[in-house]
Amino acid sequence: MDNESLRNKLIALQSGDKIAFEDIYNHLKTPMYTIILRITRDRSLSEDILQEVFFKLYKSPPKPTIRKPRAYLFQMARNLAIDHVRKLPQYANWDSVENTVHLPLDDFSTKMDIDHAMKTLPLRECQIVSLHINGGLKFREISDMMDIPLGTVLWRYQKAITQLRSILSGGVT
Amino acid sequence: MKKIIAFVIALMCILSLSITVLATDSSSNSEFVVQGSSLNHVTYENIVALYEHWETNGYPDYVGFVYSTDGSSNNLTVLLVEDDGTAENKIRSMLISDAGLSFGSAKYSYNELLAIADEISSEYLEKNNLFYGLGVGWGGAGDGAPGFGNSGKEPRVVVGVDKSILTEYTKKFEKLYGDRVVVFESEAFVREDLRDVTKDKNTGLSWLLIPMMLLVVAGIILFSIRTRLIPAMQTTKGTIITQSVPVSRKETIAAIKNSEVEPSDKVFNSILRRISENDQ
């Protein structure tokens, strides 16, 4: 579903069209849930957040004049996920959290699957990778959303993919 | 006879261009490798060997470009991004001999430019037939320098477009990517005069196409064998069953895409319940 079709669905949703709402949900649930999960690392919490995103969307859908509805909705999901995570005591300092990793990267000889590999990325890079690959957002949109320069986004993305490749290859690349 | 010779030359040019495009696309899609810090003890005979390694496996992010210093293949200049000497020392330490090696500076990482080229390829080149060419490298700044930047030796993403969209995309890319992208007026690969020759002589020379196409197909097969990489078998917990083998960039991205997780069905029902409670 591109931005134009999504916009049409949102217009229908503004008139209370529940089928349009279900279409949007079915289209976005998987990438959005994946991105939220990459931030929270908690399935149950991620489902609550996804629920909240769509409840908010139904209650007050964005105006049809919005230029990039897809990016808007992912931003909404990301913001809610970050808000929830920040409430957790171990995530009180978000800036440092974005640089932390969930798994140490000290053994290139250990083969990992992609879920493990993703956890070795700093959360900021994990979000960039997930927003681009799972969310289908452009680097420019991610740059706007995360308020960091485009070059930095591209740089971090390449670094992340390189790291993931190396891990998935067991360090042989 | 002259027309036949002209056609054969034109055909070979077109085919070689196709191969160039294929190679460019493939490299932009699949190979961005940085040697992991734990692997940096690997040494290379000289800068040429290291360059070949980078060309095959991808460049580290601190490299902006590599070019021949004097036109020979023995002396290479490596442009480094924002280097305080660390990257230079790192490269030197990877070489048994650093003869023929020179350094310069570049504003942007080669990987970053490749990523932009990748984005332009998927967002514009593949969708707009007025985009004729795309590459990362030197394109000539028009002032006699081969490349770009202060030294005139830096690379940029060079985009060739039709005259009719030149101004539009020059402005657009400037806004999106700054001076990382340079847009030039270009022409389509196949010109009208070549098309006419092809049309006249196509049937009589079709036999020539067969070995050439076979060569191209063989090239594609060889290329795909070189880059086709088999992920190591492993358990769901990540335990290795077979030996590690390189995983390509494409496979990595596919793995991320395939790792998407679906929420449980109860989520949508909960949303509907909340909506109906809210409506009451």
Task: Find the mean pLDDT for residues A104-124.
Answer: 65
Provide, rounded to the nearest whole percent, the portion of chain A with pLDDT above 90: 24
Task: Find the mean pLDDT for residues B90-102.
Answer: 92
Which residues in A lie closer than 8 A to residue B236 (C-beta atoms)?
Answer: 113
Residue B189 in this model has a pLDDT that exceeds 60: no
Which residues in B lie closer than 8 A to residue A154 (C-beta atoms)?
Answer: 112, 115-116
Which residues in B lie closer than 8 A to residue A110 (C-beta atoms)?
Answer: 238
- Phi/psi region, residue B45 (left: phi>0; alpha: psi -120 to 50; beta: rest), is alpha
**Please, are residues B252 and A117 in contact by the beta-carbon 8 Å criterion?**
no
Inter-chain CB proximity A139 and B119 less than 8 Å: yes
**Rounded to 5 degrees, what angle do the CA atoms A102, A107, A108 make?**
110
Each residue's pLDDT tens digit, B111-136 = 888 888 888 887 887 778 888 777 78
Q: Which long-range contacts (CB under 8 A, 24 or more apart) does A52-61 make?
A: A52/A80, A53/A77, A53/A80, A54/A21, A54/A24, A54/A25, A54/B268, A54/B271, A55/B271, A55/B274, A55/B275, A55/B278, A57/A13, A57/A21, A57/A24, A58/A13, A58/A21, A58/B271, A58/B275, A59/B275, A59/B278, A61/A10, A61/A13, A61/A14
Instruction: Give yes or no for B263 touching A (CB within 8 A).
Output: yes
Inter-chain CB proximity B115 and A157 less than 8 Å: yes
Provide, rounded to the nearest whole percent, the portion of chain B with pLDDT above 70: 61
Q: What is the pLDDT of residue B214?
A: 53
Strand partners, B65: B79
- Between helix A69-87 and helix A3-14 the angle, nearest 10°, is 80
Inter-chain CB proximity B244 and A111 less than 8 Å: yes
Confidence label for A129 from pLDDT (cuts 50, 70 and 90):
very high
**Rounded to 5 degrees, what angle do the CA atoms A55, A56, A62 make?**
130
Residue A110 in this model has a pLDDT that exceeds 70: no
Inter-chain CB proximity B271 and A157 less than 8 Å: no
Give, in words, the CATH class of A3-168. mainly alpha
Task: Find the mean pLDDT for residues B180-205.
Answer: 54
Q: What is the pLDDT of residue B54?
A: 82
Inter-chain CB proximity B239 and A108 less than 8 Å: no
If one compares B38 and A142, the residue with the highest pLDDT of the two is A142
Confidence label for B3 from pLDDT (cuts 50, 70 and 90):
very low
Residue for token pair 């023929």: B100
Q: What is the pLDDT of residue B212?
A: 54
If one compares B228 and B124, the residue with the highest pLDDT of the two is B124
Q: What SS3 class is residue A152?
A: helix
Q: What is the pLDDT of residue B10?
A: 43
Closest CA to A28 of A82, A59, A72: A72
Q: HSE (CB half, 13 Å, CA atoms) of A168?
A: 26
Beta strands in chain B (DSSP E): 63-68, 76-81, 101-106, 131-137, 156-161, 181-185
Compute the 3-state secondary structure of chain B and give helix, strand, coil in percent, each to the nearest 5: 50, 15, 35
Q: Which of A133, A138, A139 is the closest to B256 by Cβ? A: A133
Each residue's pLDDT tens digit, B26-45 = 333 333 333 333 334 578 88
Prediction ipTM score: 0.80
The mean pLDDT value of chain B amounts to 69
Closest CA to B75 of B103, B54, B44, B102: B102
Domain boundaries of chain A, sorted by first residue? 3-168
Q: For residue B201, give the amino acid letter.
A: K
Which residues in B lie closer than 8 A to residue A45 (C-beta atoms)?
Answer: none
As to burial, measured by CB atoms within 10 angstroms (0-12 exposed, 13-18 middle, 19+ buried), residue A74 is buried
Backbone angles phi, psi at A162, to 5 degrees: -60, -45
Confidence label for B143 from pLDDT (cuts 50, 70 and 90):
low
Q: Which residue of A has its CA nearest to B33?
A: A162
d(CA B16, CA B173): 28
Confidence label for B13 from pLDDT (cuts 50, 70 and 90):
very low
B201-260 residues touching A, CB cutoff 8 A: 229, 231-232, 234, 236-240, 244-249, 251-253, 255-260
Q: Which residue of A has its CA nearest to B258?
A: A134
Q: What is the pLDDT of residue B235?
A: 38
Residue B24 in this model has a pLDDT that exceeds 80: no
Q: What is the pLDDT of residue B217?
A: 52
**Rounded to 5 degrees, what angle do the CA atoms B241, B243, B248 make?**
110
Which residues in A lie closer than 8 A to residue B116 (C-beta atoms)?
Answer: 154
Task: Find the mean pLDDT for residues B223-247.
Answer: 42
